Amino acid sequence: VNFPSPYKVEGGGNSQLPESMGDFLLTPEVARAAHRILSRSQKPGYLYLQSNCADVAMFMRDLCQKEGFQVAESFEGRKFGLEDWLPANDSAVPETERDKRVAAKMRSTRWTQPSGFGWLAQSPLPLHGRTETEVHQALVTKRPVYRTLLQP
C-alpha cells in the first residue's frame, strides 16, 4: 500500500481526503483479505506499507497488526539489523501546516514519531522497483518516508 491519501485534518481544507476509516484506502476488510491471501502462499508473502505521513503509516501498521500481520524481520534471505530500522528523529521540524497539525495531534495521543523496530530506514526494493512517489519523496524532496514490511 503505497502513499495512500492522508486523513483530513481539522481545519486543513482538502475536502477530497477521507474523513473516517470507512473512507480510507486500507480498511479492516482489505487487511483481512491480504492476510488470508498471503497466508495461503507457498512462498513467504509480504505486505509493504509506506507513507510520507507519519499518522497514516502508523494507522496502517496498527490496523494490519490487529488483523494478524507481524513485522517482517528479514526479506529475501537477509535478516534486518539495527542499521535497517529508522532512527528516532526528535528534532524533525514540521514543514507544512498539515505536518504541524499532525504533530500536535500525535503529541496529544499515544502515537509518537515512527522509528525503531519495524520501521525501515530504506526501501527493501531495488531502485528500479520503487514507485515514482517514493523516489520523489526520498531522493528529491528528502522528506521522510515511513515504511514497514509485514508478514502474515
Say which residue, 142 or 110, is predicted with more confidence.
Answer: 142
Between CA 47 and CA 150 the distance in angstroms is 5
**pLDDT (0 to 100) of residue 43:** 87
- Average pLDDT over the chain, rounded to whole? 80
Strand-pair partners of 71: 150
Q: Say yes or no to pLDDT of 98 above 70.
A: no
Span 106-113, average pLDDT = 60
**pLDDT (0 to 100) of residue 18:** 59
Confidence class for position 64, pLDDT limits 50, 70, 90:
very high
What's at 102, amino acid-wise?
A: V
Span 21-49, average pLDDT = 88
Say which residue, 25 or 19, is predicted with more confidence.
Answer: 25
The x, y and z cell numbers of residue 120, run together, are 525501515
Beta strands at 85-86 and 116-120: parallel, antiparallel or unpaired: antiparallel
Span 41-54, average pLDDT = 89
**pLDDT (0 to 100) of residue 91:** 43
The CA–CA distances, whole Å, from 67 to 35, 72, 98 equal: 7, 15, 29
Between CA 19 and CA 6 the distance in angstroms is 9
**pLDDT (0 to 100) of residue 90:** 47
Between CA 57 and CA 35 the distance in angstroms is 18
**pLDDT (0 to 100) of residue 48:** 95
